[in-house]
Amino acid sequence: MTPSAAEYVRAVDLLRAGELVAFPTETVYGLGADAANPAAVAKIFAAKGRPADHPLIVHLAGHDAVDHWAEQVPPVAWELMEAFWPGPLTLILKKQAWVPDAVTGGQDTVGLRVPGHPVALELLRRFAASGGHGGIAAPSANRFGRISPTSAAHVQEELGDRVPLILDGGSCTVGIESTIVDCSRGEAVVLRPGHISPAHLEAVLGCRPNIETAAGAPRVSGSLAAHYAPQTPMRLIASERLLDFLNAQRHKGDACGVISHSLPPHAGMPHIWHMLPADPVGYAHELYAALRDMDHAGMSLITVEALPDDPAWAAVADRLRRAVAGAGPG
């Protein structure tokens, strides 16, 4: 699905006027504003109900714009840009002095990304050509802490008339948020796992990057313990215990939905049963839509089959842990 020329024109006009525009990326839909306009950026926080000290990711049309937003860019960052942009990788870099605190959460670093979605790239190119600084700040286009949207319909459901325009680019291909790598300290450190794994990064850098979430690292999007969460209570259950757990829930009379990856639906078990692909890429693509469906189904509990203990599953396991922590009270 491709927006019309008139929709792109309207989107750029809205951004230039300090308004919000939702648009697709390959990861999730973003809620965008002119990253150089603090008043426009403030509208993102108001629409989402997002705390003002949470930094945003600035989306750019190409890596030739990086020096305008960041300074002291180390060689490792350029290597990663060349390998993975456009794509689902955000780099944390030392910011230029002019970059608004509203975007960085008051930090001396800024998150930058060139998204790998044709609609996002076309919007960014047109916005850059219209004048100004050319960056669009865009967290996920949902209420703060809730399930990220992977379709235009999800954005409409989440934000309604809080966003003047939603550019519909179809379903997001990746389905979970970008990998975040901090390069602001001269080496690559993973702060948030995503579709681009440590193994992918190692293939470019020649060594496995460290993974860090401790104090001292820059604050980044999606790093709270509770995030990406449905309003329905949610449990992760080991594969070998799943059927016994569901039987117990059924005997209690609880309406329990299931998301699995290895166990197919069983007769007499919950009638709402999403079996997702048994590979981490396919699973990630479908996860948020499945959680959203479950949240609408009136279940008393969302039961998710625990994932394999394998580095390839680290990104979706991260999202599920945070979703369980942020889900409705059990």
pLDDT in tens, 179-210: 999 999 989 999 999 999 999 999 999 998 98
CATH 3.40.50.11030 domain extents, the chain: 234-326
Fold of the domain built from segment(s) 234-326: Rossmann fold (3.40.50)
Ranges under pLDDT 70 in the chain: 213-217, 222-223, 225, 330
Q: Report how far residue 274's alpha carbon sits from residue 287's, in angstroms, rounded to the nearest whole number.
A: 10
Per-residue pLDDT, 214: 58
Per-residue pLDDT, 175: 96
Output phi, psi for 245, to 5 deg: -65, -45
CATH 3.90.870.10 domain extents, the chain: 5-211
Closest CA to 72 of 86, 87, 92: 92
Cis peptide before 164 (omega within 30 of 0): no
Strand partners of residue 257 = 302
* Torsion angle of C-alpha atoms 104, 110, 116, 117, degrees rounded to 10: 20
Per-residue pLDDT, 165: 98
Per-residue pLDDT, 221: 76
Per-residue pLDDT, 229: 82
Q: What is the pTM of this model?
A: 0.94
CATH code that applies to domain 5-211:
3.90.870.10
At residue 201, what is the residue type?
A: L
HEC sequence for the chain = CCCCHHHHHHHHHHHHCCCCEEEECCCCEEEEEECCCHHHHHHHHHHHCCCCCCCCEEECCCHHHHHHHECCCCHHHHHHHHHHCCCCEEEEEEECCCCCHHHHCCCCEEEEECCCCHHHHHHHHHHHHCCCCCCEECCECCCCCECCCCCHHHHHHHHHHHCCEECCCCCCCCCCCCEEEECCCCCCEEEECCCCCHHHHHHHHCCCCEECCCECECCCCCCCCCCCECCCCEEEECHHHHHHHHHHHHHHCCCEEEEECCCCCCCCCCCCEEECCCCHHHHHHHHHHHHHHHHHCCCCEEEEECCCCCHHHHHHHHHHHHHHHHCCCC
